[in-house]
Every structure is written in structure tokens, then in C-alpha cells.
Structure 1
Amino acid sequence: MRTVYINTSSIKDIFNQLQQNLGGKLNARPQEYNLILDNEVASGVITGVCFKSRICFMEYDVTFKEDTTITSHTPINNPIHFMYCAKGRLAHSFGDEVEKHILNQFQTGIFSSDPSKDTVLFFEKDEQVRISNIMVDINQEGSSDENIDQLRDQLLKTFRPQNGANTFAYTGSYNLKIAEQMEQLAAISQKGLVRYLLIQGTVHLMLAMEIQQHKEDRKNTKNNFGSLTKDEMDDLRELSAFIRNYPEVQYNLKYLSSKSGLSPAKLQEGFKILHNRTVTDYIRNVRVETAEHMIKTTDLNISEIVYSVGLTSRSYFSKIFKERYNCSPKYYQDHQNALAATA
């Protein structure tokens, strides 16, 4: 087994130590790092970025060639770790403790401990793993941002060890919405300040989703947050993608139930968990978003766009478009054309 030992909380030093242990090519932007691996140790990429709010984000999208552990020892500012497994399977433990906390695909995990405990991540040989780790340093006090101070206070009360314990561990329900945010994060192509702000906004949204997931799991403990299995969640994710790709299909619950193999009740339950919407609301929202994109990127008129996204009533489309974007589709199209003419 290969062991990688990290003894710093500086994002720059973390990546330098990772490169020393794993090899690879290290690329650096201001406060953003990218370690590309393609050798006898591992293949894939490790990325990371830190913000002035003392929130750092790391993503591992790697396949190790042998069982590997990455141990982090940061006794001065031991952060709270908000983890999410988007692919594969990962195990976490505190130091040399025997107990391991398993994160399966689409599961969240929140871990914190007193400074005497290390954070250990276990990667199995030849298994591609993609995980995100948002690290929040709650020991830094007196920042210039009152909202950040309030966030730290709340996290300290909720996710730090309590009642004499020296560790806190939580593994949550399945959540596909965070995986979607990771995809959006990977798709950011802008550079400079715009890139930094987009990454920061997405990471903060992921953090909010993980905190909300913990809150909802606690609230619904008695109900076990529904009866959906991981395979059923996978089916729902594929079904959601199908609807996004083919908004013009005339959907109904019977058709979707037949296509997914899930009962109408489980469809509604799953869409509420994944998208916080009913099935009908989700379909309507996809159609409106697709239409908005078509208005910006095609020369089709409004009536053509309405039929292209599976709707039959232009007046109904205008109503739901205005509810979403606070203007009529015709107004939106006219102003897109005006902007194009002056560009």
C-alpha cells in the first residue's frame, strides 16, 4: 500500500507535497492548482483552489495503481471536511482508528475532529474515484466579512465534536444535484477573475447543498428519507438527462414509469429529492430553460420554439416564461436581436 502524508493546510504546499509523492505535472494559477497524473502511480487529475473566506476546495478524479492512503495532519487549523463522492467508492477514517466511513457514489459525508486526529482517505487499487472535498477552516476568527464569521459560528455548533467526543462523522443520503454542480465546475472555461468568481460561487453552492442535505437527513431520519435505492437513483438521473435532451416528447407519468421501471410514486419521490420539484414542474422548467437558450442561439421565431420544446400553446408558454424570467419571450427575443445588432 502506498501512503501519502500531507502536513500542511496551505493549498500551494499541499499540491507540492502531492507532486513529490505521486509525480505528475503541476499547473498553477493564482490560488488554483491542477496536478495531472499519468504514470505508474496513478492516472487522472487532482484540482484545488482556496478562497479568501478560508474555504478550500479539492477534487480527486483519479485511479491509483495500488491501494493508496492520503493522510492529512493539520493540527493548527484542523478544518471541517464536506465530502461528496461522484464516482466510485471512498473510505475515510480518523488517524489510525479502525472504523472507516464509506462514501458510495452520490453520497455526502461531513467529518471533523480535534487537532490530535488525522484525516485519512483510502483509495482502492484500479478503481476510478471522483470526489470533492470542501474544507472550511472555522478556527480563523475576526474576518472582515460578517457573513463568513456567522457561517463559521454555525458550522462550529453543528459539525464539531460535542459532549467530550473528539470526532464528528456523518454520511448522508444519495444526492445527484451535487454531482451536477461538479459537472458545471469542470465546464468552467473562463479565465482570470471571472473564472475565480464562478468557481467560488459553485463551491459555495455545493457547500450549501451538503449542509442542507445534513439538515434534511436529520429531519427525515424516522422515514429514512424515502425508500429509493442507489440503482433507482441512477435510473432517475438517466431519466432526468433524457428529459433534458428531448424536451419535445409528450411526457406523462405512465410513459416515464414504463421507461424507468419505477412506480409513479417513486418517480415523484425521486424528483422531489433530486430536483426539489414534481415531475411535471421539472419537465416544464426544462422546456422553459431550453426555449430561453434557443431564443438566444437560433433564428427560430417564438411559435417555432414553442413547438420545438414540446408545447402547443404560445399563450401558455408566454405565461410560464414570464414567471421564470420576468419578461415576455417576445420582449426577450427583441432585445437579444438589438444587442446582436449593436455588437
Structure 2
Amino acid sequence: MKTLSIKTAQVKTIFEQFHKDMGGDLQIDTKEHILEIDSPLGQGIIKGIDFKGGISYLEFDMEFSEDITLVAKSPKNPPICFAYCSNGQMAHSFGEDGEKHELENFQTAILTSKKLQDNILYFEKDVRLKMILILVNPVQNLEKGKHLNQKLQKLFFKNNVADNLAYIGSYNLKVADKVQQLNAISEKGIARRLMIEGLVHMILALEIQQHADDLKNSEYKDSSLTSREREVVQELSLFVNNYPEKQLSVSYLCKKGGLSPSKLQTGFKLMHGTTVTDYIRDVRIRKAEDLIKNTDLNISEVVYSIGFISRSYFSKIFKAKYNCSPKEYKDKQNAYAISA
């Protein structure tokens, strides 16, 4: 087992230590640190970036060649850590003798700790790990109670004093969608940084909302879905996104995935926060918006290309989502293209 240590929550210093311990090629672009690793320790990439307001973002896409223990000591003003695994799993404990908390794929987690507390992360060898960490560090000299940073401290610190908390939440595919969008960003420079910052804030919001939903709906958090069943729900979700024109139904997806209707609905509610039918409809509407905006298809062609039969019904639900009719939206796009 290999033990690595970091003594700060600042991305620049973290990557200097990672680079020293794991080798690889370290690139820095507009304060985004990208470490590509191909060494006896493992293969993959680690990314990280600091934003204003004390928010830092780390992303691991690694397969280690040996078990890794990462020891991170909390500073005098400990951060709030939001974690998410989109592939593989990891474990966490407070100190070497503390209880291990397992974080599986598609699960959210919120971690806080006492000052100067050792936080230990455990990564297994030969497991492809895709994980993100969002650190919200206390920022001094802010107007009291007005900043997100302080509101989160009030929410997760009892009497504004940091303590050990490991909250392992429900399974959520919305976060996985945002992580995929992060990985799909092809822009460079300041545009890339702004896009990353926007998506990181969206992921942060989804994790906070998941925590609130878990407190209200403990029956979903304690669902009996197995790891394989959660993977099936993800596969079916991708299928819906890839084939929005198909006349999909709950019974069809149950047969395709080998799940009962109850398991399927529980999975979509658990991981998307909605029913199967509503998810399919939302995917179609988002696909329609993309086609209207980026193709020359007329409205009728768009309607049929995404599996709708009734144009009037499509117009109704499109307007409910975007507050304008499909025709109005297309006219605005055309007018913008002409003016440009």
C-alpha cells in the first residue's frame, strides 16, 4: 500500500505534491492544473482549479496499480467537502482508526471535519476511479451571512463550529450528467474556466439539494437497489438520451433492462428525481430545443424526429418548459442569425 499526504486545500500546492509523489506531466492553463500520469503507481489524469469565494474543484480519472491511502490534514479553518463517484468506489475515515465510510458509484457525499483532523481516502488498485471533490473553504472578511460560503457553514457546522461528519447520500445521475458535460468542454482559456465554474456550481447545488431531499425521503436513500441495478438505470437513461425518437414505455425499458416496474421507477426517482415517463419527455424536449436551434428542420420535422405524434401537445409542453412556443423560439434564432 502506498501512502500519499497533502497538507493544504489549495489546488496549486496539492498538485505540486501530487506531481512530486506520482510523477507525470503537469500542465497549467488559466489556473487549471492537469496532471497526466503514466507510472508504476498508476495511469490516468487528475485535474483541479481554484475559484473565487473559496471554492476548489478536483477531478480524478485514475486506475492505480497498488492500493493508495491519501492522508489530508484539515487546516485550522476546515473546508466542507462535496464528493461524487461516477465510476468505481472509494472509502473515507477520520484518522487511521476511524470508521470507514464507503462511497459507491453514483453516490453523493458531504464531509466535514474538526480542525487539524486527518481525513483518509482509500483507493483500491486495479479499479477505474472517476471521482470529483468540491472543497468550500472558509473565506474571511465577508459580509456576515451574505455569502454562499457562510451559508453552507451555517447549514453543515453546528453552532458554526466544524466537527466530524460523513454524510453518504443517495444515488444521483444528474450529477453524472454534469460531470460528463465538464469532460466534454473543448474550449480553452477563460471560456473554459467560466464553463467549468458554472458546472461546478451546478454540481454543488445538486449535491445540496440531494442532501435536503434525503432528509425528507429516507425511504429512497435506504432503497434496496443493488449496484448492478443502479448501473442498469444509468444504461437505460443513456439509451433514452441516444434514442429519443423511439416510442419508449416503462414496460419496454423493464424488459430491456431486466428490472421490475417498481425497481425501474424507484431507480429513476432515486437517481433523476422524476418518473420514467417525465424523464423521457424532458429528454425529448431538450433534444427538440437543440434541433430547433442548430438545424434547418421545420417544427413538424422536429416533432416527428423526436418521437412525438401530436404537434399541439409538443407545443404545449415546449412552452411550459421554455416560456415560448417552438415557432417563437425558432423565429428568435433566425433573427439572431441574420443580425449576426
Which residue does 2:54 correspond to in 1? Answer: 54
2:205 is matched with: 208
Kept after mapping to 2: 8 A contact 1:63/1:128: yes
Tell me, yes or no, if the aligned pair for 1:80 and 1:159 is still in contact at 8 Å.
no
Return the alpha-carbon distance in structure 2 between the equivalents of residues 159 and 2 of structure 1: 35
Which residue is 1:313 aligned to? 310
* 1:222-241 to 2 correspondences below 5 Å: 224-241=221-238
Match of 1:12 in 2: 12
- The answer to whether the Cα contact below 8 Å between 2:172 and 2:272 also exists between their aligned partners in 1 is no
Change (3 A) 1:295 1:224: closer
Contact 1:185 1:199 in 2 (8 A): yes
TM-score by length of 2: 0.92
SS of aligned partner of 2:334: helix
Residue pair 2:27, 2:33 contacting (<8 A) in 1 also: yes
Partner of 1:105: 105
Q: Would you say 1:73 and 2:73 are equivalent positions?
A: yes
Say if 2:220 and 2:270, in contact at 8 Å, map to a contact too. no
8 Å Cα contact 1:45-1:62 kept in structure 2: yes
Matches within 5 A, 1:184-195: 184-195=181-192
**Kindly tell me: are residues 207 and 248 of structure 1, through their superposed partners in 2, closer, same or farther at Cα, counting changes over 3 Å?**
same
The gaps in structure 2 that reach 5 residues or longer are none
8 Å CA contact 2:111, 2:167 repeated in 1: yes
Please tell me the residue identity of whatever aligns with 2:142.
S
Q: Does 1:142 align with 2:130?
A: no
2:300 aligned partner: 303
- Give the Cα separation in 2 of the matches to 1:331 and 1:123: 52
In structure 2, the residue matched to 1:171 is 168
SS at match of 2:233: helix
Q: Tell me which residue corresponds to 1:151.
A: 152
Which residue identity does 2:227 align to in structure 1? Answer: K
Conserved in 2, the CA contact under 8 Å of 1:9 and 1:77? Answer: no
Alpha-carbon spacing, 1:275–1:124, altered in 2? closer, same or farther (3 Å): closer
- Equivalents in 1 of 2:309, 2:220: separation in Å? 40
2:129 & 2:158 partners in 1: Cα distance?
Answer: 31
Measured on the aligned residues, the alpha-carbon RMSD in Å equals 2.1
What is the rounded CA distance, in whole Å, between the counterparts of 1:18 and 1:71 in structure 2?
Answer: 12
Distance change (3 Å), C-alpha of 1:275 and 1:174:
closer
- The alignment status of 1:281 with 2:309, answered yes or no, reads no
Residues 185-219 of structure 1: per-residue CA shift (max 9 Å, x gap): 11122333332222122112212222222233233
8 Å Cα contact 2:170-2:270 kept in structure 1: no
- AA aligned opposite 2:140: E
Greater alpha carbon shift after TM alignment, 151-160 vs 331-340: 151-160
State the distance in 2 between where 1:296 and 1:39 align. 45
Contact 2:154 2:160 survives alignment (8 Å): no
1:262 to 245, 259, 262: 259
| Superposition deviation, residue 37 in structure 1 | 0.5
Any unmatched runs of 5+ in structure 1? Answer: none
CA change 1:126–1:290 in 2 (3 A) is same
CA drift at 1:331: 2.0
Encode CA deviations 1:83-139: one digit per residue, 9 max, x unaligned: 11111121212222242211121122222221231111111222211111111123x
